[in-house]
């Protein structure tokens, strides 16, 4: 796995920033990859909502691992949104990251949910110890869940990001930050690539690139837009109009299910042979399983 993981890290250091679309299932991931994206992320909100579970509560650990198993052998680089690591125990977070690495993921997104910065740093260190080549994108929610009017917001953000860098994070993520001056100031202060969540009301992709942002995530935007498109089409049909926009044909969607043989493996069925390392195909979470931790994207 070292080679593709190195390739993923390299995408954060090209002339153009890494524009990372986020998928919520196999079909959406493969469809996005057909548009020429070398790397695809997942969205914890989309994964959770698609199976009827809440986001940010550690309820989708098994679903997330199953999705990674399904996507890890595809012909694109996979980064997984793992909320806060699905545990408050750094050792368990590290073990989960190791399993992601074994099934083919090359990156993990970990959010602090404004929990203790020290604990989040411990999780990051545990991940790097368990899966050294896995690209850790450490997210702080100071601009997502915190008080944006706080006079110490910039300092608090940098304090957390510095702790995460020192713990071994390969990149840092500040969703909710859209002010160009603040973004530029962070870029100058950081020693690792900065990830910003794209906002339709914020800077454009080109502007973010000019500011020095190295990774631009779409989060749950595509999933929410897909739901919006479905409602729009339904409204058109109900009103007697032909639905606007375009949609893949039945055969095109069916074909997505057959694209299960990526360039990094010759047989996706080989994944269960990884069982000796402690990873096998995870069992789906039972419908009545209780939710378990902070809000994701």
CA-to-CA distance for 268 and 7, rounded, in angstroms?
Answer: 21
Q: Are 156 and 148 contacting, i.e. CB atoms less than 8 angstroms apart?
A: no
Complete DSSP assignment for 205-254: HHHHHHHT--EEE-TTHHHHHHHHHHHHHHHHHHTTPPPPS----HHHHH
Task: Give pLDDT tens digits for 9-38.
Answer: 999 999 999 999 999 999 999 999 999 999
Q: Using pLDDT thresholds of 50, 70 and 90, give the confidence band for residue 148.
A: confident
CA distance 200 to 210: 17
Question: Is the Cβ–Cβ distance between 113 and 160 less than 8 Å?
Answer: no
Q: Which of 27-31, 249-253, 273-277 has the highest mean pLDDT?
A: 27-31
Q: Which two tokens stand for residue 100?
A: 């992601």
Average pLDDT over residues 253-257: 87
CB 142 within 8 A of CB 99: no
Burial of 270 (0-12, 13-18, 19+ CB in 10 A): exposed
In angstroms, the Cα distances linking 276 to 12, 280, 286 are 33, 8, 25
- Give the pLDDT score at 260: 56
What span, in angstroms and rounded, lies between the C-alpha atoms of 251 and 84? 38
**pTM of structure:** 0.86
Q: Mean pLDDT over all residues of the chain? A: 88
Task: Examine the pLDDT at 280 and tell me if it is beyond 80.
Answer: no
Q: Which three-class secondary structure state does DSSP give residue 98? A: helix
E-assigned strands of 9-69?
A: 18-20, 22-23, 39-42
CA-based end-to-end distance of the chain? 26
Question: Which tens digit of pLDDT belongs to each residue from 90-115?
Answer: 999 999 999 999 999 999 999 999 99
Separation CA 235–CA 37 (nearest Å) = 32
Q: Which of 109, 38, 10, 36 lies closest to 68, judged by CA?
A: 109
């Amino acid at each position: 796995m070292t080679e593709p993981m190195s390739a993923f890290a390299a995408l954060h250091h090209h002339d153009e920033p890494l524009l990372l679309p986020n998928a919520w299932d196999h079909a959406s991931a493969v469809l996005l990859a057909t548009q020429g994206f070398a790397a695809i992320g997942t969205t914890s909100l989309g994964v959770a909502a698609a199976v009827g579970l809440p986001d940010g509560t550690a309820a989708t650990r098994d679903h997330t691992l199953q999705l990674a198993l399904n996507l890890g052998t595809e012909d694109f680089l996979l980064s997984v949104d793992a909320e806060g690591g699905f545990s408050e125990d750094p050792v368990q977070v590290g073990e989960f990251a190791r399993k992601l690495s074994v099934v083919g993921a090359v990156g993990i997104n970990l959010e602090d949910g404004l929990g203790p910065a020290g604990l989040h740093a411990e999780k990051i260190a545990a991940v790097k110890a368990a899966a050294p080549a896995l690209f850790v994108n450490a997210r702080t929610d100071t601009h997502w869940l915190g008080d944006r009017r706080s006079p110490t917001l910039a300092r608090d953000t940098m304090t957390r990001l510095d702790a995460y860098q020192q713990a071994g994070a390969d990149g840092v993520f500040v969703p909710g930050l859209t002010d160009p001056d603040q973004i530029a100031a962070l870029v100058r202060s950081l020693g690792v690539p900065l990830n910003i969540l794209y906002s339709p009301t914020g800077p454009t992709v080109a502007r973010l690139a000019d500011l020095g942002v190295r990774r631009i995530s779409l989060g749950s935007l595509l999933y929410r837009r897909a739901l919006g498109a479905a409602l729009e089409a339904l409204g058109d049909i109900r009103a007697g109009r032909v639905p606007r926009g375009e949609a893949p044909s039945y055969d095109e969607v069916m074909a997505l299910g057959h694209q299960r043989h990526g360039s990094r493996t010759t047989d996706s069925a080989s994944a269960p042979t990884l069982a000796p390392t402690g990873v096998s195909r995870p069992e789906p979470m039972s419908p009545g399983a209780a939710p378990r931790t902070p809000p994701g994207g």
